[in-house]
């Protein structure tokens, strides 16, 4: 059996123009749908659900090796940056 690894990346985003949880939900749903459709990975809002202007999204994927994990996480990071007006405050990557 071949090895498998789990690649995860957590984005902490700031959307200063958001003034309601309804507005935030629309942004979060859009980001999640776009990332899932393009990369076929698991994506969810994982923290700060009650804070209007902070969005924390986690992405996870099963990959066969470290090089693919690094490449995929980099592609996802660039995609998120290009497909949302929210500013990326922090990004944490992990491979297990």
Please list the rounded mean pLDDT of every run of 10 residues in the chain (96 residues): 86 95 94 97 94 95 93 96 93 95
State both tokens at 16: 């200063």
DSSP string, the chain: ----EEEEEEEEEE-TT--SHHHHHHHHHHHHHHHHHHH--EEEEEE-TT-TTEEEEEEEEEESSHHHHHHHHHHHHHHHHHT-SSEEEEEEEEE-
The pLDDT value recorded for residue 49 is 85
Domain boundaries, given as residue ranges, for the chain: 5-95
pTM value > 0.85: yes
Q: 5-95: which CATH architecture?
A: 2-Layer Sandwich (3.30)
The pLDDT value recorded for residue 83 is 93
């Amino acid at each position: 059996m071949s090895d498998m690894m789990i690649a995860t990346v957590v984005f902490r985003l700031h959307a200063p123009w958001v003034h309601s949880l309804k507005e935030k939900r629309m942004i979060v749903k859009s980001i999640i749908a776009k990332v899932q459709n393009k990369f076929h990975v698991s994506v969810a809002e994982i923290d700060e659900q009650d804070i209007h202007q902070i969005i924390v999204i986690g992405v996870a994927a099963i990959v066969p090796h470290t090089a693919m994990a690094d490449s995929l996480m980099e592609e996802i990071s660039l995609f998120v940056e290009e497909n949302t007006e929210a500013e990326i405050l922090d990004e944490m990557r992990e491979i297990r």
